[in-house]
Amino acid sequence: MRVLSGIQPSGSLHIGNFFGMMRSMIGWQEKSELYCFIVNLHALTTVTDGALLARNTMEAAMDFLALGLDPGKSTFWVQGDVPEHAELTWILHNHTSMGLLERSHSYKDKIARNLTPSHGLFAYPVLMAADILLYQANLVPVGRDQKQHLEIARDIAGAFNHAYGETFVLPEPGIDDDLATIPGIDGQKMSKSYGNAIDIFLEKDELAHRVMSIVTDARAVSDVKDPDACNLFGIYRLFVGPEDQAELRERYLRPGLKYSAVKKELIEIIWDFFAPFRERRHELARRPDTVRQIMADGAVRARKVATITMDIVREKTGLIY
């Protein structure tokens, strides 16, 4: 089975990315053929500072490697290094109805947040469809916000298959309901673009500052509290096993719980959770050329697979003459 997913280098990766997608994805390298990539072409829709995009791309690569993505067990590359992504995108544009893209929630959300409604932003899901179809992926692990993009990819694949005969595998989304939407420090979905994220690799004082800023309700220490409505609980539970989760739930349901005490515990828990990866992250940061070489090797491998699909697509569409 082929499992594939990507992440945008549009900012530092955060614990919502980690629990929503990265952890499960890294797990797939042990049991499937895993394709993991950094979607710098997608990030061009929102990042217009070239130096920043280049830096974020390297940082995202280092984050994944530090967190356990093994380039020996998976194919790991940067999207823009494989030109077939852009080529297939153009071909798929011709099998994408305007209505399909006009219904995109993510496009509407971005416009609502005052991003310029560029054609790139509008066509974003077509590039994502090309990413997936190029590798004939069966399963795409993502958070819930990407569900509609997966549906669009399936629609486009179906339209192409209808026009030219069976060509593309229809991908399935891999969404873990329990982890599909990790809350940010303000209780909205955690996102790089909402300023509400807790990044994976923060310095300890920054981590402490973010955790202490988690918004909680105004109940007094003597009140009982509702764990299910509390985003501090929603974040804490990610880092502990079922027993510790149950114990914290009990503490919420008894008078006497102080949110600030829970936050102080959480700082240490998050710090320790990522400790084994932090050392490796520092080591990678000292060897950027090694990281670039890993990505270059990954692109060569990805391109071999992409070329197999593109040869078929070029043949079917009459681009080979």
Q: Looking at the annotation, which residues are catalytic?
A: 110, 189, 192
> CA-to-CA distance for 83 and 41, rounded, in angstroms?
10
The DSSP code sequence of 157-177 is: HHHHHHHHSS-SPPPEEE--G
Amino acid of residue 272: D
Q: Rounded to 5 degrees, what angle do the CA atoms 295, 80, 278 make?
A: 40
Q: How far is the CB of 64 from ligand ADP (least distance, A)?
A: 12
Element of type H or E holding 253? helix 242-253
Contacts with ligand ADP: how many residues (CB under 6 A)?
Answer: 19
Query: Are 104 and 155 spatial neighbours (Cβ–Cβ below 8 Å)?
Result: no
Q: Per DSSP, what are the bridge partners of residue 183? A: 189
Positions 142 through 161 that interact with ligand TRP (CB under 6 A):
142, 146, 149
Positions 2 through 21 that interact with ligand ADP (CB under 6 A):
7-8, 10, 16-17, 20-21
Among 32, 181, 216, 307, binds ligand ADP (CB under 6 A): 181
Q: How far is the CB of 213 from ligand TRP (least distance, A)?
A: 25
Q: How far is the CB of 192 from ligand ADP (least distance, A)?
A: 4
The strands making up 33-38's β-sheet, listed across from edge to edge, are: 74-78, 33-38, 2-7, 139-141, 172-174
Positions 161 through 220 that interact with ligand TRP (CB under 6 A):
none
Q: How far is the CB of 180 from ligand ADP (least distance, A)?
A: 6
Cβ neighbourhood burial of 204 (10 Å; 0-12, 13-18, 19+): exposed
Q: Does 198 help bind ligand ADP (rule: CB under 6 A)?
A: no
Q: Does 182 help bind ligand ADP (rule: CB under 6 A)?
A: yes
Say how far residue 129 (Cα) sits from the centre of its chain: 15
Positions 128 through 147 that interact with ligand ADP (CB under 6 A):
142-143, 145-146
Among 140, 156, 197, 284, binds ligand TRP (CB under 6 A): 140
Positions in the binding site for ligand TRP (CB under 6 A): 4-8, 39, 42, 128, 131-132, 140, 142, 146, 149
Positions in the binding site for ligand ADP (CB under 6 A): 7-8, 10, 16-17, 20-21, 142-143, 145-146, 180-182, 189-193
